[in-house]
Chain A
Amino acid sequence: MNDETKKQINERYERELGKGERFWPDTLFKDLIMSLGIFVLLILIATFVGIPAEAKADPSDTSYLPRPEWYFLFLFKFLALYGQLPLIGKIEWLATVVIPTIALGALTLVPFIEKSPHRHYSKRMLPISIMIIMVTGIVLMTITSEVPTVSEDGSEVLGILQTIAGIFIPVVAYILFFVFKNNTRLMLWTTSLAAVSMILLSGTVLALAPEKHGEEVEVATTLVDQIVAGQDLYSIHCTECHGDDGSTGIIAGVEGLEGEKITPINSRDVLYTITDASMYEVIAYGRPNSGMPPYGKTYGGELSKSEIDYIVILMRYSWDDRFEAPVIPELFPPLADGEVPSYDVHIEPIVKRYCISCHRPGKDNNNYLMTTYEEILTTGDHAEFNIIAGDENSYFLQTIQGTPILDENGQEIIGIMPPGKLLKPNVVDVFLRWIMNGMPKTAAEAGVLFQTPTPAP
């Protein structure tokens, strides 16, 4: 750039300054309003949207679908699409290093690449067109980042459409840009056509995309939630051996561990001398020599780090007298006279706490599974006698009320349930009312059956 042009640019700027404004107050005023607007917006988002809860980092959980920060999603998508290309798709570092470096380098050196002194868009169609296509691509790839390139049925249509929109069209457009660069009209047409077809293709991809399965992970954040989560997990994984309240000293009724002597885990001795971290480790690693299996996922168990934390919290707040437990909501809302319980509101939480520990796949339970409504009603070796609407002699009701089921020779075929210790009377009452009234599933179905008790005469 020669001195003449520089002088012209400076004079031009002086003229603009002449008919301009003052930094204070005119320019600064706008700046302040903008910043204030952003501040208010942030407070509103922080208050009304908040931050979604996430479970604790768990290096052993390889099933977790890793995703980068949202502003790197386009790069992630680009890598996925690039990997689909024949031949060069195999050279990974081309896409991860070379192409981003070229793009970033070009962006950095823009002032030295685009040397013309002109600033109006009509005189710089080439750089503007390239940038428009680049930004369109980035935005679209961010939006479609969740769409897989290969559908579940193995069809690659989605991937091909995305590759056309994300790589093929931009490349063709860039080539055309350099051919047409002196023709403003053709440039405009090419840019618009490329951008519109990219948008339409991505729209099609989104429309065809398989619906996202809500794999919401429950994360307990408040102490009460954590204790309740811990209670549910404890009832499923620990009750069998350690008992409801952790007081078991000799294991009974567990295959392979029958008669094993264990330390009651609710004693002061244990709670005062073992730290949270050690408790965590006992649960995660297990105690190989005394029969306790490892529960941490890393060591072959089923529990994530957060889940083991919840169990430790439960143990502290339930049994350690140095901790004062907050008010824990009841397992199920108490029933009024004549009210009929439903599966959704009453039975499910009860079953989860008292039954699923044994009545789930892989346990010795006469094939009676209780993890869903349908399973409760239809599975088991004695399904036809187990739950009969309106029949007090249903096996289910007999066993939970302390009557074992005997065969014709007087041999016990089903013991009392739960083995060892019967449920509290109000819990038994819930099951009684539920089965006697035809096992309604939803609260609405149960509401219809509500009978106002006849007032005493």
Chain B
Amino acid sequence: MWKTVYAWLDERIGFDSLYTNLLDRPEPKTTWWNTLGSASMFLFILQGLTGIFLTVYYTPSPDHAYDSITYIMEGVAFGWLIRGIHHWGATLMVLVVFIHMLRVFFTASFKFPRELTWLIGIGLFLATLGMGFTGYLLPWNQKAYWATTVGTQIAGTVPFLGEFILKALRGGPELSALTLQRFFAAHIWIIPAVLAALMGLHLYLVIKHGESHFPTKED
């Protein structure tokens, strides 16, 4: 039975070419420093999964956001663990993505033929920071509220456009229910979609060019 199913699927998908194209590829000798990119992706997936669980109970309104988080922490079975992983995963993701970028910089892996991979990588880094920035407001506690207040204030100092950016971010001159609503939308739909698309491109390029080798005196 299993064999028939496998054969049927293989005919349509082609496991062999998948295997040779994706898995059985030659790579130069890699070190532990080369694992940071996949670690970033793992963290993104983990954030996605825990984030989906959190949205089941989370309510993005100033009246209920704080209480819904308290309920996740106290009332939901293993809610504290899911939120704990999401909370610390965010911190770790920023850190891992940043160190990944430093490694690529110091080994000059961004040079020909991987320039485009670097550009997309910068996009990924900024999207990660954006995830952190928008996610920070969602618990609607003192720390979140005031961090977002100063964060958007800094964006508001841009000459000429400052006022517009500030109002666009906050949805008005002050932090309000609108701010929370649009940060929530950005956090769970807009930025993750951009991030996932960029990640797909990034991965495609990494597979196409292979990982760069560790530079020696020759290079």
**Could you tell me which A residues sit within 8 Å of B by CB distance?**
1, 5-6, 9-10, 12-13, 16-24, 26-28, 30-31, 33-35, 38-39, 41-43, 45-47, 49-51, 54-59, 61, 64-72, 75-76, 79, 92-93, 96-97, 107-108, 110-112, 114, 117-124, 127-128, 131, 135, 221-223, 277
Contact = CB atoms under 8 A, between A and B. Distances in A.
Contacts of B157: 92-93, 96-97
Interface string B39-80: 100110010000000000000001100100010011000001
Contact of B150 (A6, A46, A66, A222): A66
Chain B facing A: main interface SS = helix
Contacts of A75: 154
Contacts of A21: 26-30
Contacts of A114: 108, 111
Given A23-B25, A97-B159, A119-B215, A64 B146 contact: yes
Interface of B: 22-30, 32, 34-36, 38-39, 42-43, 46, 62-63, 66, 70, 73-74, 80-81, 83-85, 87-89, 91-92, 94-96, 98, 102, 105-115, 118-119, 122, 129, 132-133, 136, 139-147, 149-151, 154, 157-159, 162, 174-175, 210-213, 215-219
B141 A55 contact: yes
B13 to A, nearest CB: 18
A83 to B, nearest CB: 12
Nearest to A127: B105
B140 A57 contact: yes
B34 to A, nearest CB: 7
Contacts, number: 221
B29 A20 contact: yes
B85 A46 contact: yes
Contacts of A79: 154
A291 B43 CA distance: 56
A66 B158 contact: no
Contact of A68 (B24, B39, B151, B175): B151
A68 B216 CA distance: 41
Leading 6 A-B pairs by shortest Cβ distance? A46-B84, A66-B146, A57-B145, A54-B141, A24-B23, A119-B215
